[in-house]
Amino acid sequence: MNIEQTLKDAEQFLAPWCKETFHPEVNRLDVAIQVDDLRAAVGALLAARWGYLSAVTGTDLGIEVGQLEALYHFCNGPAITSLRIHLPRESDACLPSIADIIPSASFFERELQEMLGFAFSGSKVSERLFLPDDWPEKVYPLRADFSIEQAAPVAGRRADELPEQGVVGGNTFVIPIGPQHPALKEPGHFEFTVDGEIVTAAKMRLGYAHRGIEKAAESRNWIQNLYLFERICGICSHTHAMAYSLGVEKLAQVEAPPRAQAIRELIAGLERVHSHLLWLGVAAHEAGFDTLFMYSWRDRETVMNLLEQITGNRVNYSANVLGGVKCDIGAEQAKAVKEGLTYLETRIRHYLEVVTTDAMFLNRTRGIGTISRDEAEKFGLLGPTARASGLSRDVRLEAPYGAYHHFPVSLVMETNGDLEARCVVRLKELLVSCFTMRTIVDNLPEGPLTTRMPRKIPAGETVSRIEAPRGELFYYIKSKGGENPARVHIRTPSLCNWVSVLEKAVGHQLADVPMLIAGMDPCFSCNDRVVTVNRPSTNETWSWKQLREYGIEFYKR
């Protein structure tokens, strides 16, 4: 089915509520609807099984306009339908919550609620997900009129209290895990209600590594932002830079030369190998299989060295520039890549055998955290986590971007949906990646590495989706024609995949929880993008100014 037909279908389904339609891009349909019609419109798309809710973008259109804008992006293959809703800025108007129909929407809604001050009727959660507990009420960091002075911490909120724990009633306990915990490699806070050893409810809290990158982007120019976004995640840095570059190039109506596109795909492939091997090590470590952890990380050095040799750095490769890439693949690099891949392929095959035969490891993975295909679709899972449940979600195949038209990858899918399937999917994916990378190195198109990019990007908005190692990465970029972006919204794959942990922990033993968390390959820095410090021991709350001064003094020494 072609894109036009798919979009026409969507237009037809949404016809009863549609006020206006636009086509901002060839593959996008933009439908303006009334606030009250949101639930009905979303329901119609779901009933017709038209795509999945990929992200919800909130934008403050400014004080002059006096409106907030919410965009519900549904993706179906390469086609994207966005439901556009405008709300007055200063009023109690609220959006109807859709979290009961689409579970992953609850994270999107909470982001909008905390960052932009949208209200949601029918939403059950009132606790914060991203912002610190002592963040003042009614201060929204992504609003146009926000200033850092407003963010002075307020004492007396939950941060001063201990996390909820202890006996709740009968045999039920609440066990807090994190933000600092030996089982977690990165900061996140979970509260698991347990009955004996069995988990009966799960709750989570993010934002411990939130750096306010979306806000920071608005004050930097297009080129500076490339490096800012690259630093969202140290593991999939190239994917972020690539998604941003592709989006900005689309807005500027410039296309990077074929050779640059192929090199981008090659580096993305190498990054996937490094990311999945890192994950394999972490998962093995959580399962108590440290031998596998040590060996997989030793082999990961091969790909790290390749990346260093090609791009000039082990992490944050900075291989992209707007309109192309910096680094070329010469004969020397091509030879090194092929040799490295040959070694890695034999190792990956060996690990595949280990994770599917080792009795100890299988006890921790087989039949644990099973997600059926229907559940995966309902939760809106992405990437390898979805593909392990038989849900074929891969942007590289559904909506090929960059060089993926010329150097396609094949789909890797498992149907069991348990932790073992997630290991197998990731390892098989690496073999596919290795094959594709070899093809790229052998058939690298000739030509220049960069094209000219304007400094000012024409006004417009675009959506750039690419497949990161953890799943679909979603960038919404809006330009007003200046040297800085007007708004960049980033939805990272980990945010969607959290639902799988929260829903699936229930009914499992508490000891399985670290494995379940590791099973979706969570990336906390992906989720969190100012934070104030509170020292409960002294009962003294520091103001932003004090904290800043303390920090400056500390580092002067």
The residues binding other proteins (CB under 8 A) are: 220-221, 223-228, 230-231, 291-292, 295, 298, 301, 305, 308-313, 316, 318, 321, 326-327, 353-354, 357-360, 362, 555-556
Which structure tokens are listed for 348? 């990956």
**464: closest CA among 473, 475, 456, 451?**
475
**327: closest CA among 256, 264, 253?**
264
Nearer residue to other proteins within complex by CB, 322 or 434: 322
Question: Which helix (H) or strand (E) segment is 30 a member of?
Answer: strand 28-32
Provide, rounded to whole angstroms, the least separation between the CB of residue 452 and other proteins.
13
Provide, rounded to whole angstroms, the least separation between the CB of residue 419 and other proteins.
16
Nearer residue to other proteins within complex by CB, 112 or 292: 292
Provide, rounded to whole angstroms, the least separation between the CB of residue 474 and other proteins.
23
Nearer residue to other proteins within complex by CB, 317 or 407: 317
Provide, rounded to whole angstroms, the least separation between the CB of residue 470 and other proteins.
24
**404: closest CA among 464, 362, 463, 466?**
466
Question: Which helix (H) or strand (E) segment is 67 a member of?
Answer: strand 67-76
Separation between Cα atoms, residue 113 and residue 131, nearest integer Å: 10
Nearer residue to other proteins within complex by CB, 316 or 546: 316
Provide, rounded to whole angstroms, the least separation between the CB of residue 280 and other proteins.
13
Tokens 């082990």 belong to residue:
314
Question: Which helix (H) or strand (E) segment is 534 a member of?
Answer: strand 534-535
Which structure tokens are listed for 344? 């890695």
Nearer residue to other proteins within complex by CB, 195 or 353: 353
- From the CB of residue 555, how many other CB atoms can be counted at a distance below 10 Å? 7
Nearer residue to other proteins within complex by CB, 179 or 281: 281
CA 520 to chain centre: 12
Provide, rounded to whole angstroms, the least separation between the CB of residue 312 and other proteins.
4
Q: Which amino acid is at 430?
A: L
Separation between Cα atoms, residue 89 and residue 549, nearest integer Å: 35
Tell me the C-alpha to C-alpha distance, in Å, between residue 153 and each of 122, 131, 387, 532, 544.
29, 11, 43, 7, 7
Separation between Cα atoms, residue 421 and residue 384, nearest integer Å: 9
Nearer residue to other proteins within complex by CB, 68 or 242: 242
Which structure tokens are listed for 11? 């237009």
Which residues, listed in sequence order, are joined to residue 324 by a DSSP beta bridge? 321, 450
Separation between Cα atoms, residue 142 and residue 129, nearest integer Å: 15
Which structure tokens are listed for 328? 């070329």
Which structure tokens are listed for 387? 């593909």
Provide, rounded to whole angstroms, the least separation between the CB of residue 481 and other proteins.
19
Provide, rounded to whole angstroms, the least separation between the CB of residue 251 and other proteins.
18
Residues 6+ apart with CB under 8 A from 16: 40, 44
Nearer residue to other proteins within complex by CB, 31 or 273: 273
Provide, rounded to whole angstroms, the least separation between the CB of residue 317 and other proteins.
9
Separation between Cα atoms, residue 392 and residue 394, nearest integer Å: 6
Residues 6+ apart with CB under 8 A from 253: 458
Query: Length of the chain in residues, anyone?
Result: 557
Provide, rounded to whole angstroms, the least separation between the CB of residue 124 and other proteins.
41
Cβ atoms of 251 and 457 within 8 Å: the answer is yes
Strand order in the sheet with 471-479: 460-468, 471-479, 485-491
Nearer residue to other proteins within complex by CB, 133 or 230: 230
Cβ atoms of 498 and 520 within 8 Å: the answer is yes
Provide, rounded to whole angstroms, the least separation between the CB of residue 243 and other proteins.
17
Nearer residue to other proteins within complex by CB, 174 or 362: 362
Nearer residue to other proteins within complex by CB, 152 or 216: 216
Nearer residue to other proteins within complex by CB, 18 or 336: 336
Provide, rounded to whole angstroms, the least separation between the CB of residue 432 and other proteins.
23
Which residues, listed in sequence order, are joined to residue 492 by a DSSP beta bridge? none
Provide, rounded to whole angstroms, the least separation between the CB of residue 507 and other proteins.
25
Nearer residue to other proteins within complex by CB, 224 or 372: 224
Omega of the bond leading into 88 within 30 degrees of 0 (cis) = no
